[in-house]
Each structure stands twice: as structure tokens, then as C-alpha cells.
Amino acid sequence: MVKTQYLDEQTFDTFKRNQEKLIEILNHNMTKVQVDVNWLKKGMGWMIGFMASIFLAILGILIKFVLS
């Protein structure tokens, strides 16, 4: 049988401490994930800028044809 590190839930106090520890662990893991995706945010910024410039170029060409 495998031993686990969970607290027994016989009293509310132990249950509360177990929940607080779980929340602390999850918050720590999410912070690490948030740090690891910064490169993705930069890439998306570049991609949005590139797509916006293409849109403005096409819009300029269409305006030129309509006004001429």
C-alpha cells in the first residue's frame, strides 16, 4: 500500500489546513506557468502587429482604387 501525504479529515481544523496547503501549492504552480508563457505573449504581440500592418496596407490599396 502506498502512503500518501494527505492529512486525515477527522476534524475541521485538519481539513482546513489541508485545503490551505492545496491552495498554496496550486497558486505556486500557476505562478510558474505564468512565467513560462511570457514568450508566447511576445509572439502574439508580434503576430497581431504584423496582421494589423497587412490590414492597413490592403485598406490603403482599396482606398486608392476607390478614390482614383
Q: pLDDT (tens digit, 9 = 90+) per residue, 47-61?
A: 999 999 999 999 999
Question: What CA–CA distance (Å, rounded) separates 58 from 43?
Answer: 23
> Can you give the residue range of the structural domain that contains 44?
12-67
Model confidence band, residue 37 (pLDDT cutoffs 50, 70, 90) = confident
Residue 9 CA: distances (Å) to CA of 14, 16, 22, 63: 6, 9, 14, 70
Model confidence band, residue 25 (pLDDT cutoffs 50, 70, 90) = confident
- Domain assignment of residue 6, yes or no: no
- Domain assignment of residue 32, yes or no: yes
- Domain assignment of residue 56, yes or no: yes
More confident residue, 30 or 53: 53
What average pLDDT score do residues 16-27 get? 84
